[in-house]
Structure 1
Amino acid sequence: MSEPLPTVPNPSTPAPAPAARPARILVADDQADVLEALRLLLKRDGYAVVTAQSPAGALATLESEDVDLVLMDLNYARDTTSGKEGLDLLGRIRAQDASLPVVVMTAWGSVEGAVEAMRGGARDYVQKPWDNTRLLATLRTQLELGRALKRSRRLEEENQHLRRGQGGLPTMVSESRAMQPIRRLLERVAPSGANVLVTGEHGTGKEVVARLLHASSTRADRPFVAVNSGGLSEGVFESELFGHVKGAFTDAKTDRIGCFELADGGTLFLDEIGNMPLSQQAKLLRVLQTGELHPVGSSKTRRVDVRVVSATNVDLAKAVAEGRFREDLLYRLNTVELQLPALRERREDIPLLAAHFLAEHGRRYGRPAMRLSPSALEALLAYPWPGNVRELEHAVERALLMAAGDEVTAEDLLLKRAGREGPSRLEEMTLEEVERYLIERALARHEGNVSEAAKGLGLSRSALYRRLQYYGIKGAR
């Protein structure tokens, strides 16, 4: 009787995280009764509160204490309503820490001053007398955006350190609780050499995990070879994976080494394994069982030592039950199974990932000083990301190219328009963008079935596969 397969912690039920410190808010106002009312309100909602009755006192507090948000009045001298003192204070706060969220308070009927403060860098404003519910909601929103900005900047510093010290080791960008079990499992499994099955929706980062498994293993100095195993036609499958000898078939002009031999001593990444036809599954299983292969047209046996990491978005247990996937092959592939959560289940990582992609593509396009504006972060956090991390990367890359200055705004991201069909969206695209968009829509309509999508697009199956390869679109079957 075989031993039970290792089980994987469920990312949706992570271990309890240590309690975070309460957010610290500086309230600046010249009226003692206002300060006390706000102190009691914010304390009741779980915040730590420090107060100041003058601009000088507010600046002194910011120099000596760690503050997460400033809630400040615009007027401090008695009988003045110009807001000049508050605007001066706002400028000095921004000069000290541009990422610190500032919410201004203004008397009813003095919205003009609040608008000027927003132009000067304030994130939002509330009117006096304030509505408790609206005030608390505003502060919660701005605190979340402020934390996201700080995490983004810290991530870039960490990435620079990793690039200097680890020579290109793949980086898993994650701080969310949903990803912690994944990180712990990776640390345990990577050195073992065991075969790993990585599952998850399209675009969740399965190949990144595969590369990290390889780079963290004892095979790191040997080859990492990736192949879209689900996209190989019957005629080229054996030649691609096992190689062929000269004269094995009409177009075999020279010997060719297959992916298994290329990966000998290292790691072979088989992407889209769930879309592999049954006939090909049998051939793959034989090599995994014996460690031996025969190049097409050769009678010689060649032995290989390969660690196999495979990936799929298909429910393989269901595919086995339906007779579409071999159970014995599944057992060979999933010595350990690692399930990646969708991006919507790890929303805390969105600002970190966005900052990572912005820095990465900024270097590529010669715009290393690019940064995300608060409005861009807010749009990123509000978007559902059906295409997961891959869609986020494409959105950030596109926004970087569209941004006029050194700051990416919500408008640059085009997220609202990207989620809307119709001529107004198509008119703004290049021909390549339109083609990619229509291909992705056709695949979505036909649940990844290449044959059906090709028919709908008026293409042959091979022509569609060439376009999938050109645009780097994965997940077809």
Structure 2
Amino acid sequence: MVTPVFESTPAVPAASPEPVAPARAARILLADDQADVLDALRLLLKRDGYSIVTAQSPAGVLATLDAEDVDLVLMDLNYARDTTSGREGLDLLARLRGMDASLPIVVMTAWGSVEGAVEAMRAGARDYVQKPWDNTRLLATLRTQLELGQALKRSRRLEEENQHLRRGQGGLPSLVGDSRSMQPVRRLIERVAPSGANVLVTGEHGTGKEVVARLMHAASTRKDRAFVAVNSGGLSEGVFESELFGHVKGAFTDAKTDRIGCFELADGGTLFLDEIGNMPLTQQAKLLRVLQTGELHPVGSSKTRRVDVRVVSATNVDLAKAVAEGRFREDLLYRLNTVEVQLPSLRERREDIPLLAAHFLAEHGKRYGRPQMRLAPSALEALLAYPWPGNVRELEHAVERSLLMASGEEVLAEDLLLKRGGNNGGTSRLEEMTLEEVERYLIERALARHEGNVSDAAKGLGLSRSALYRRLQYYGIKGAR
């Protein structure tokens, strides 16, 4: 993206917030042969905002699921035919797993035992509740399983969308994620990509900066020309000019033939300069000259060559700070960041983890000849609990590794080979976080300790309930009650 000459960085007008459709109330199927139990559960769950449908027999459960969609089944294990062993309920559980393996099922019985719980979980139940139930624990269990169920559905939908994308658009790069923090990124890319303006992509290591650069190229008028990527911060002084601008035969000892540089290769297209913040000052001056004039001289040549290149650059360095410290040229920064796209870390977009995992599972599953692979609920829970210091790149490597480790058609938590004490791993990175990142992290940990209870979490954090609610809204943290 060749940026026109300008004297100050133009501000990009903020996009107006898009209206958000009200979320549909989660629909729960209650199955029990006792009418009073169904009534009690219906009253409890309706107060919590759930939509309820009931059945009093296994046949009624199957008929209901044939007729309508539900988000979760809360079912008794004992019915009229056999009131003690739970066998009728286990048979029903097996039928339900065969119908929809992603449907969350929580089983409940008054004749609970360790053996019964183990057998139900082996048969595919997500959790187990014994009568008489504790309201708080029951609600927390249902909320957790509903969230996991929705995540699995979104993962499956994403996989289908990716397959359609590959079939219909020939590998057009996709930016996976629809979290609150990714939505403004998407809007900005949509507005800037066709413009031809130079773009600076910032964010931590592994957040997907090259994906954004490729997406910008694919969505621009330059999409039919070359996209050339180079690690500009990793080029030594001796090869920098040759790599970017090319050289002619005999220009130096090893110059056996003419060589075209990256700028000429990307002529009419897009040049992606990664790790731009690590470029030495002497190299910055040479790059600035080409960006200002659109002209270059291959090493050893006196001929001027003109290029029309859009430059997308990327860095995890704070360039404003580098300018203030004299490590980066301010005039070069103005040339590079006509528009800045700042990518959030994976810590700031945890809602996207199931989508990203499904995307990588589909990609690498095809590569390794295992397209049928799916994530088990235990694996999804482990992914959501891990702090991901390496961001999206680390997540991709973990999913790819799990495909090699998994013995069946499901990736289990142990197949991911994540470090033990996933959440605790985040504490080693506190000194690298901003104040907002630290606050969000501590709030999430407090909510996890107190099973989403806002009052208890607020007390543990030394905040009032209203103060914590304000922070939950600010950070977009969900799952609190």
Aligned counterpart, 1:98:
101
Aligned counterpart, 1:246:
249
Aligned counterpart, 1:454:
none
CA-to-aligned-CA distance 1:3-26 (integer Å, 9 cap, x gap): 65123759xx97663221111111
Aligned counterpart, 2:178:
175
Tell me which of 7, 24, 27 is aligned to 2:12: 7
C-alpha contact 1:29 1:52 (8 A) present in aligned 2: yes
Q: 1:8 to 1:337 in 2, by over 3 A?
A: farther
Shift in Å at residue 75 of structure 1? 0.6
C-alpha contact 2:25 2:49 (8 A) present in aligned 1: yes
Match of 2:181, SS state, is helix
Tell me which of 128, 131, 136 is aligned to 1:133: 136
C-alpha contact 2:387 2:423 (8 A) present in aligned 1: no
Tell me which of 199, 209, 214 is aligned to 2:212: 209
- Normalising by the residue count of structure 1, what TM-score does the alignment of the two structures yield? 0.85
Task: Kindly report which structure 2 residues correspond to 1:73-472, keeping only aligned pairs within 5 A, or say none.
Answer: 73-77=76-80, 80-107=83-110, 109-417=112-420
Distance in 1 (alpha carbons) for counterparts of 2:422 and 2:63: 47
Match of 1:416, SS state, is coil
C-alpha contact 1:246 1:255 (8 A) present in aligned 2: yes
Match of 1:25, SS state, is strand
Shift in Å at residue 63 of structure 1? 1.3
Aligned counterpart, 1:460:
none
Q: 1:3 to 1:241 in 2, by over 3 A?
A: closer
Shift in Å at residue 281 of structure 1? 0.6
Q: 1:110 to 1:60 in 2, by over 3 A?
A: same
Q: 1:41 to 1:335 in 2, by over 3 A?
A: same
Q: Which amino acid aligns with 1:235?
A: G
Q: 1:402 to 1:374 in 2, by over 3 A?
A: same
Q: 1:409 to 1:114 in 2, by over 3 A?
A: same
C-alpha contact 2:385 2:422 (8 A) present in aligned 1: no
Q: Number of residue pairs matched?
A: 423
Aligned counterpart, 1:20:
23
- Normalising by the residue count of structure 2, what TM-score does the alignment of the two structures yield? 0.84
Q: Are residue 62 (structure 1) and residue 94 (structure 2) matched? A: no
C-alpha contact 1:14 1:178 (8 A) present in aligned 2: no
C-alpha contact 1:106 1:126 (8 A) present in aligned 2: yes
Distance in 1 (alpha carbons) for counterparts of 2:13 and 2:374: 37
Distance in 2 (alpha carbons) for counterparts of 1:167 and 1:78: 56
Distance in 2 (alpha carbons) for counterparts of 1:247 and 1:4: 41
Q: 1:366 to 1:373 in 2, by over 3 A?
A: same
Aligned counterpart, 2:462:
none
Shift in Å at residue 341 of structure 1? 0.7
In the TM superposition, structure 1's runs of 4+ consecutive aligned residues that sit over 6 Å from their partners are 418-421
Match of 2:303, SS state, is coil
Q: Is 338-347 or 75-84 further displaced after alignment? A: 75-84
Shift in Å at residue 371 of structure 1? 0.9
C-alpha contact 2:200 2:341 (8 A) present in aligned 1: yes
C-alpha contact 1:14 1:180 (8 A) present in aligned 2: no
Distance in 2 (alpha carbons) for counterparts of 1:365 and 1:259: 33
Shift in Å at residue 111 of structure 1? 3.4
Distance in 2 (alpha carbons) for counterparts of 1:148 and 1:281: 45
C-alpha contact 1:190 1:213 (8 A) present in aligned 2: yes
Shift in Å at residue 295 of structure 1? 0.7
Aligned counterpart, 2:473:
none
Q: 1:153 to 1:4 in 2, by over 3 A?
A: same
CA-to-aligned-CA distance 1:223-245 (integer Å, 9 cap, x gap): 00000000111111111101111
Shift in Å at residue 108 of structure 1? 5.2
Q: 1:164 to 1:276 in 2, by over 3 A?
A: same
C-alpha contact 2:313 2:336 (8 A) present in aligned 1: yes
Distance in 2 (alpha carbons) for counterparts of 1:264 and 1:409: 47
| Long gaps (5+) in structure 2 | 1-5, 433-481
Distance in 2 (alpha carbons) for counterparts of 1:249 and 1:116: 74
C-alpha contact 1:152 1:355 (8 A) present in aligned 2: yes
Aligned counterpart, 1:32:
35
Distance in 1 (alpha carbons) for counterparts of 2:87 and 2:192: 60
Shift in Å at residue 420 of structure 1? 11
Distance in 2 (alpha carbons) for counterparts of 1:32 and 1:413: 44
Q: Which amino acid aligns with 2:306?
A: R
Shift in Å at residue 418 of structure 1? 9.5
Give % identity. Answer: 86
C-alpha contact 1:196 1:334 (8 A) present in aligned 2: yes
Distance in 2 (alpha carbons) for counterparts of 1:85 and 1:372: 28
| Long gaps (5+) in structure 1 | 422-440, 448-477
Q: Is 148-157 or 111-120 further displaced after alignment? A: 111-120
